[in-house]
Each structure stands twice: as C-alpha cells, then as structure tokens.
Structure 1
Amino acid sequence: MSEIAGATPHLLRRVNSGAVLDVMRASLAVTVSELMEATALTRATVISVCEDLMQRGWIRELENQRAFGGYQKGRPARRFELNERAGYVLGMDVGISKATVVVSDLRGKVLGRSSQPFASAEITAGERISVVDRTAVMALQKVGASPDSVLAVCAGIAAPVDRKGDVLVTQHFWRLFDVGLKAALRDLRGWTVLLENDANLAALGERWRGAAAGVDDVVVILASERLGSGVIDGGRLLHGCGGGAGELAFLDMVEGVGDTFGIAHLARTWAAEALAGRAKTLLREHASDGVEAEHVFAAAAAGDVVARRILERLAERMARVIAAVATIINPELVVIGGAVANSAGVLLEPIAMRLNEFTATPPKVAVSPLGDSIVTVGAVRCALDYVEKNTLDLELAPPAGAVTS
C-alpha cells in the first residue's frame, strides 16, 4: 500500500486497519504473510493492526496447528479471521400488512427471523413502531442476541425514500410508512436505522445473492400485488431527487397495461372473472375459499385451458411492462421478484417471445431465487455496507457475562 502524502499516524492506522478488514471479510482465514501480500503492508504493521483489531473484538486469532501427520520447522504461521459474531445487523421488511425482521451476522448469514402482522393498514404510527420493535426483539431472542449487540438496522418500506432516508409523502399510501421509525428505534434501542424503499433493497439483494449477481445494469421488479422497481445503473443504486427513481406509476399510460397491479393480484382477479361465467376449469375447486395465484399456475401446469389463458394474458402484460422499463432505462437484465417469483418462471419464455414487439432494446429476463426474502436480503446488505464503512467508529458491546470497569 503506497504512502499517503501528509497523512497523520492516526489516519494511516485507520487506512491500514480498513485494508486488513477488507481482506478478512473476503476470506475465511488468513496468515500474516497473506495479509502482507494482499495489502502491501509490512509484517510489523500487519501484526500491529491485527493485535489492535483483536483487542477491539473485530477479529480473532485461530489456534496454531502443525501440518497433520508431518513435521514442520519453525513456529506455525499466525492465522486470523473475522469475528462474524462481533455484532449483528437487522434487515427489516415493513409492509402494509406485516413486519418481517431477520438477524444476520457480519458475513451476511441469516441466523434468525420473525414476522408479526399489523392489526390494519390504518393503525397509528405508534402502533406500527411497536409491532416492528416487538418483531425485532423476537428475532434477536431466537438467536440469543441482545439489542445492545445490534450494529445497524436497515428497514425497507413500500414508499419512495430519498438519499437522506426521508420518505416521499405525496400520496396517502406512502404517508402510512412515514412513522418516524428511525428516530423511534434510536430512542428505544439506541440503534442506527437506515430507511430504504423495498424495491431498491430488492435490487441490492438480487445483485448480491440472486439472479443479478455481478450484473451492473439491472432492474428488479417486485411483481406480486403491486408493481414497483429498483434500478441499478453502472453498479449504482438510483434514487432520483426525491427517492422516486424506479416508481412505475407511468404504467397507467402504457397501452395494454394501464395500472400497476401485479401478477398475484391480476391472476386472482382474472380467475374470479372466469369463474363468474360457465367455463369448465379446475379453478372451481378453490372457488369457495378464493382462487390465489398459485392455484392458477398449478391449474395451468395441469393443462387447464382457462388457467393457461390467464397466464398468456399475464405474460403479454409483463412483456409490455418490461419493454417500457427497458426503453427508458436500458438494463442488461430485468428480474421478476417477490413471493410470486416462485411460480413466475413459466412466464419467462412467452415474455421473451413478445419483447421484440414492444422495445428495440430487449433485456434478458429472469426470476428471483430469493422468494419473499428478497427485501430482507437487500436490507441485510445495506446494513452490512454501513457497518463495513464505519467499522472503526463503532464500539462493540461487551460479550455476555463480561466484567466492565
């Protein structure tokens, strides 16, 4: 690592510590020599940094072991690894009907999960915050972690959020999510809370661990009840000046679309319309309890003509939606995400066949493998990004049972 002109010793220590931590996060275990090679730091500097990071609790030294079954001259190499349980991050999906919270370690492994419903869409801000807080505590209890061990929280909501974390409240539905969650959880638990749009987090999660891994130009469309999208352009998540980048209200003006209802909503609606007539269909088996999207997909797979026609309508409509997005944004890939993605794979071929009719820049299309976890995966990634950027300014909670002076 080259010298930084005019750098103070304190700044150099921070830069060196950051470089070592970056290597640790990308590795399972590393030796001093491997850290020297990866960072271009001297042995003395690497050892000093590791000692400091161990003392602060961020990394740990592994027990030295001789080569199995043989003789090894000299002292065994010192090996270090990230202490992935030094603290935790929370990923939240705060929807209109329920809150879901996952607890992750510092390598992004989800350790616990909890969901709780809201009594109604129109509950007070205090009631909504109380449910979110209770859900988070329940998730932490499943892991055996204390609230004090949480280093960062990211909450995804179904409303536009700008770069500063402020909610765009120009519509009543969006205003329902402007409940002061960041300040409330800071006051209740001392947590740093990052607020983000759910579709934006879906895009982050998809690019991290989904079908868009490694893709720099991607749009992820949450497509279950209502359509919303997150946009990554050149590897950068787009917000727009008020957080509205990726909003799909313009679909009201797109021929053959006309609204932002999603696949699950339309499958349910069109199935109900079909059942109102005299058509012979397997969907009648579910008429008493209500036909859901999964019933339509299952019936289509069994050869049901009515269900297949519904899927054809869905495929053409989604082709128009994707083509509109592709014409405006020109991504390499569009991913269909949300709970409906588990069934939507059957739509990919008919969508791809229609795209050239509607746009001169057809993207590749995929369905997300993340299912209904897509938002919490992105929320965990967002919270980890905060921790990794601010590691050296964060103070870890003492381990349970530790004696503090």
Structure 2
Amino acid sequence: MNRSNLTIAVRVALHVRDHGSATVNEIARNLELSRTSVENAVGTLTELGLVVDAPSAGGRGAGRPARRFTFESGSAYVIGVDVGIASVRVVVADLRGDVVVQQSFAGVAGARDGAAKLTAVVDDIREVLAGAMIPTSRLRAIGVSLPGIVDDSGRVVTSVVIPEWSGIDIGAQLQAVFGCPVSVDNGVRLAAVAEHHLGVAQLVDDVLYLSVGNRIAMGLIIGGRPRRGIHNAAGDIGRLAFPGLVTQTGQLTWRSGQTAEEVFGLARAGDASASAELGDFVDQLARGIATLVLTVDPAMVVIGGGLSAAHEQFLDPLRAALAAHIGLPFSVPLVEARLGAEAASHGALVFAFRRHASAIYNLDGMPVPPITPLPAEVVVGAESR
C-alpha cells in the first residue's frame, strides 16, 4: 500500500490507529505534513468520532502539556463468522483490528432446513454480542465464510455441504437482521486471506493455500489478492487435481480406517496396510500439488485443515514427495498454516474490513487494520445446541 497516495485525514487516522496517541506536532513531523493540515485532519476525524483526546500523562514542565489525540477503537465493531456443519466460529474486532471476543458453537448440521440453519447462525452472533455487552447498533459490518461457491455479490451459487443455501443471498438475509453491510465468500478462500494478512504467509503475495481435512480444497492469493476467477470457482479442485483420493464432493476416503485420525494412529502403531495407504496418499497428494505449483508458481504452499498438524507423518514426507514430483532446480516452501481452525473466521473479518471500509470508518480509503487475534486460552467454546 502506497500511503503517500492516501488523503491527509486517512494518513492521520492510520498514524494514531497503528502507532498510538500523538500530538499534532508529532503527527506533522512523522508524516512530513504542515501543522495546519494535521489540525484540519484531526478536526475532521474528531467529528467522525475516530479520534478523541488521549488521557493526560501529566508532564513535569511548566505550562499546559501539549494536547494528545488517540484513536477511538471501541466506538464500533466488525464481526467475522465461519459457518460449517461441525462448528460455527464468531470473532469480533474493534476498529483497530484487535479481536475482543471469539467464540465457537456447534455447527448447523442439526438444524432441520436452510431457514433453521440461518436462524442458528443469527442466534450465535446475537449470543456473542450479548455476552460482550455490544449493542447491535455499534456493529458496522459482518464478513461470513461458508462452504460453497459464492459469487462476488455474496450469493451462494452452490454448496454441497449446505445445499439448502444454494441460490440464496445469505448476506442480504443477515443484513436485514443486523442492519449493517454483510459480505460472504468461500471458506477456504478466506482462510487463505487470513494466512496472508495475519498468518504464516504475510511476507509473500503469491500463495497456494490447501486445506486437507475431511475434504481437499484450495485458496489462491495472487498479487496479494484472493483469486476468484470469472465463475467464482477458483480453488474448487478436489475432484480433478486429486483423483483417487476424493469422492465427487471432494470428500476424502480411507481404506484402512473410518477416519484420517484412525489411519494415522494405525500407521503410528506399525500397521502395514495403514502405513502403505498413508504413503500412497502423500505421494498422490504431492503429485496434485506439484501440478498446481507448476501452474501458478507460488512463493509458498500453505497446508491447513485437520491433517496439517501431523508433522512427521504428513508434512515432512509431503515436502520430500513434492520436491521429487516437481523435479526442477528450485524448491517451494511448504509450511503449516498458523491459524488452524480459526483461519476462515479471521479471513471473514479481514474480508469485512476490506469490503466495507467506508461504512466501518465513515471515511473513504481506510485500509484493513492489522488483525490481532486473542490468545488461544481466551477463546470460548460452546456446548452442542
């Protein structure tokens, strides 16, 4: 981002948002602006409620201390929601991008139909807001992650995981309830966005993110932006890139056990058939990734999903197999995702800040803030519905 092209008001807002309180003289010096320009910008930002007087530190010198200004981060909030069959995750951040509450709930699998699934998500969001004592009126935007192909307007084109929502504008439904802008996108794409913005891939702009869990799905970051494609289907590659590993819905299948966890456990215990199946799985997966790598030529491959934590059984042999399949005099870093199961909800939060900056800050041109997640021990989990 070239901050020199931003308006003076935005530059001043970013300075106090991202660097802390400051006087007019300090802001003018750091931004190389005139004092008058900064004073005018501070006046505008004060009227918008984005900047307030900082608490006085009490100086020792004679005379009144210089007036300091600080960013009013708690005046409004933005929400990221990750909707899934197994879980619904909700994160709430203030205007500085600091996550103030994060909670997980049972997924929507038990809801009887599409309307009931949507009601369950609405109830989850309301519960989080009530628990944090945040009135709905202070909610500025919502980002939603869900499984399926989603068009650029936020309408669900198709979802094999939540088929009742196919063809439904979930964003419009939520906007009607909460009265703020809502953006919706594919969960794996938003997980890639999160790893690029605040996770393991912050320093590179071409990223191939692969989620390997119950399914195999991909998200692409090209030139620092998520790749949607003309039909919004970029990344829906499970059935084609990994034949033999997945079903028509992208679901992974196993011969030696019912689940991946069971197969990995059997292999660790020395079961020959499970070890052989795992070896074949890694080799076929590496072949598919090599095809994608040589098509996109990313700076990094990020592996997320439930299998990403199995280092010695999965990631280490996958790296070796990938290098063998690529067979060229360069290597592509293959790394474990940093955000784990929380990636998509935080990606939805980034998405909301990016899509609705003007509504969030009442100021055009404000970029996405650095997102600061809560420590893992602070995250709240809920029991089944």
Instruction: Report the TM-score when normalising by structure 1.
Output: 0.78
Distance 1:72 1:351, change over 3 A: same
Residues 219 and 230, structure 1, Cα contact 8 Å, conserved in 2 = yes
Q: Return the offset for 1:300.
A: 4.7
Give the secondary-structure state (helix, strand or coil) at the position aligned to 2:73. Answer: coil
Task: Pick one of 259, 271, 291 that aligns with 2:256.
Answer: 271
How many residue pairs get matched?
Answer: 358
Aligned match of 2:333: 364
Specify the SS of the correspondent of 1:26: helix
Q: Give 1:288's aligned residue.
A: none
| 2:10 equivalent to 1:22 | no
CA-atom RMSD in angstroms: 3.1
Q: Residue 186 of structure 1 contacts residue 192 of structure 1 at CA under 8 Å; is this kept in 2?
A: yes
Alignment of structure 1 residues 320-339 onto 2, 5 Å: 320-339=287-306
Superposition deviation, residue 364 in structure 1: 1.3
User: Which residue number in structure 2 is paired with residue 113 of structure 1?
Assistant: 103
Look at both structures and tell me which one has the larger radius of gyration over its CA atoms: 1
- 1:112 aligned partner, one-letter code: Q
**Residue-by-residue CA offset, 1:313-366 (whole Å, 9 max, x unaligned):** 332232123112112211111111123333356422211211233224752101
Deviates more, 1:331-340 or 1:127-136: 331-340
Gaps of 5+ in 1: 5-13, 273-290, 395-405
Q: 1:302 to 1:24 in 2, by over 3 A?
A: farther
Structure 2 counterpart SS, 1:140: helix
CA 1:333/1:262 → structure 2, altered by over 3 Å: closer, same or farther? farther
Give the Cα–Cα distance (whole angstroms) in 2 for the partners of residues 210 and 392 of structure 1.
Answer: 24
- Higher mean Cα deviation, 344-353 or 367-376? 344-353
Residues 57 and 303 of structure 1: CA distance in aligned 2, closer, same or farther (over 3 Å): farther
Q: Secondary structure, in 3 states, of the residue corresponding to 2:75?
A: coil
Is it true that 1:318 corresponds to 2:285 in the alignment? yes
- Which residue in 1 is equivalent to 2:351? 382
The whole-number CA distance in structure 2 between the counterparts of 1:322 and 1:73 is 67
**Equivalent position to 1:60, from 52, 55, 63:** 52
Q: 1:113 aligns to what SS in structure 2?
A: strand
Name the structure 1 match of 2:152: 163
Give how far 1:166 is off. 2.9
| Alignment correspondent of 1:41 | 33
Aligned position for 1:340: 307
CA distance in 1, matches of 2:267, 2:53: 56
Matched to 2:8, the amino acid is N
Unaligned runs of 5+ in 2: 364-385
- Opposite residue 45 of structure 2, the aligned amino acid is L
1:26-74 Cα offsets, whole Å, 9 max, x none, are 223333233213433322332332233234322232122245xxx4355
Q: 1:51 aligns with which of 32, 35, 43?
A: 43
Structure 1 position 226 matched with structure 2 position 226: no
The answer (yes or no) to whether the contact 2:155–2:171 under 8 Å persists in 1 is no
Q: Where does residue 279 of structure 1 map in the other structure? A: none
Q: TM-score, normalised by structure 2?
A: 0.82
**Contact 2:212 2:304 survives alignment (8 Å):** yes
Percent identity reads 27
Secondary structure of the structure 2 residue equivalent to 1:85: helix
Distance 1:299-1:136 versus aligned 2 partners, 3 A rule:
same
2:77 to 67, 88, 105: 88
Amino acid at match of 2:302: V
Q: State which drifts further: 208-217 or 336-345.
A: 336-345
Relative to structure 1, the CA distance from residue 341 to residue 34 in structure 2 (aligned partners, 3 Å threshold; closer, same or farther) is: farther
Aligned counterpart, 1:176 = 164
Preserved contact between residue 27 and residue 81 of structure 1 (Cα < 8 Å): no
